[in-house]
Copies of this chain bind each other. A is one copy, B any other.
Amino acid sequence: MDAKEASATDLKRPREEDDNTAASMETENGDQIKEPACFSSVIPGWFSEMSPMWPGEAHSLKVEKVLFQGKSDYQDVVVFQSATYGKVLVLDGVIQLTERDECAYQEMITHLPLCSIPNPKKVLVIGGGDGGVLREVARHPSVEHIDMCEIDKMVVDVSKQFFPNVAIGFEDPRVNLVIGDGVAFLKNAAEGSYDAVIVDSSDPIGPAKELFEKPFFQSVARALRPGGVVCTQAESLWLHMDIIEDIVANCREIFKGSVNYAWTSVPTYPRHLNLYQFMVVYCSGVIGFMLCSTEGPEVDFKNPVNPIDDSSSKSNGPLKFYNAEIHSAAFCLPSFAKKVIESKAN
Report if A322 contacts B (CB, 8 A): yes
Distance from A41 Cβ to chain B, minimum over Cβ atoms (Å) = 9
Among the 9-residue stretches A225-233, A243-251, A325-333, the one with 4 or more Cβ atoms under 8 Å from chain B is: A325-333
Task: Report the Cα distance A332→B321, complex, angstroms.
Answer: 11
B interface footprint on A56-80 (CB within 8 Å = 1, 0 otherwise): 1111111000000000000000000
Task: Report the Cα distance A48→B46, complex, angstroms.
Answer: 13
Distance from A299 Cβ to chain B, minimum over Cβ atoms (Å) = 20
Which B residue's beta carbon lies closest to that of A59?
Answer: B59
Report if A43 contacts B (CB, 8 A): yes
Task: Report the Cα distance A58→B286, complex, angstroms.
Answer: 17
Which B residue's beta carbon lies closest to that of A55?
Answer: B83
Q: Tell me which of B83, B286, B326, B334 contacts A321 (CB under 8 A).
A: B334
B320 engages A325 (CB within 8 Å): no
Which B residue's beta carbon lies closest to that of A323?
Answer: B335
Task: Report the Cα distance A58→B58, complex, angstroms.
Answer: 9
Report if A338 contacts B (CB, 8 A): yes
Report if A84 contacts B (CB, 8 A): yes
Q: Tell me which of B57, B263, B338 contacts A61 (CB under 8 A).
A: B57
B84 engages A58 (CB within 8 Å): no
B320 engages A326 (CB within 8 Å): no
Task: Report the Cα distance A111→B104, complex, angstroms.
Answer: 27
Report if A284 contacts B (CB, 8 A): yes
Task: Report the Cα distance A334→B101, complex, angstroms.
Answer: 12
Task: Report the Cα distance A62→B104, complex, angstroms.
Answer: 28
Q: Tell me which of B61, B284, B326, B330 contacts A285 (CB under 8 A).
A: B284
Distance from A23 Cβ to chain B, minimum over Cβ atoms (Å) = 15
B interface footprint on A278-292 (CB within 8 Å = 1, 0 otherwise): 000000111000000
Report if A218 contacts B (CB, 8 A): no
B338 engages A332 (CB within 8 Å): no
Report if A82 contacts B (CB, 8 A): yes
Which B residue's beta carbon lies closest to that of A61?
Answer: B57
A238 engages B101 (CB within 8 Å): yes
Distance from A343 Cβ to chain B, minimum over Cβ atoms (Å) = 15
Report if A42 contacts B (CB, 8 A): yes
Chain B CB within 10 Å, residue with most, of A104, A322, A326: A326
Report if A265 contacts B (CB, 8 A): yes
Task: Report the Cα distance A329→B338, complex, angstroms.
Answer: 14
Task: Report the Cα distance A304→B189, complex, angstroms.
Answer: 48
B interface footprint on A76-116 (CB within 8 Å = 1, 0 otherwise): 00000011110000000000000011011000000000000
Distance from A31 Cβ to chain B, minimum over Cβ atoms (Å) = 23
Task: Name the B residues within 8 Å of A284 (CB-CB).
Answer: 265, 267, 285
Task: Name the B residues within 8 Å of A83 (CB-CB).
Answer: 55-57
**20 sampled A-B residue pairs with Cβ under 8 A:** A42-B60, A54-B84, A56-B61, A56-B85, A57-B84, A59-B59, A103-B336, A238-B265, A265-B284, A267-B285, A267-B286, A319-B335, A323-B335, A323-B338, A325-B333, A325-B338, A326-B332, A326-B334, A328-B329, A328-B332
The 3 closest A-B pairs by CB, nearest first: A285-B285, A56-B83, A329-B332
Interface positions of A (Cβ within 8 A of B)? 42-43, 46, 48, 54-62, 82-85, 100-101, 103-104, 238, 263, 265, 267, 284-286, 318-323, 325-326, 328-330, 332-336, 338
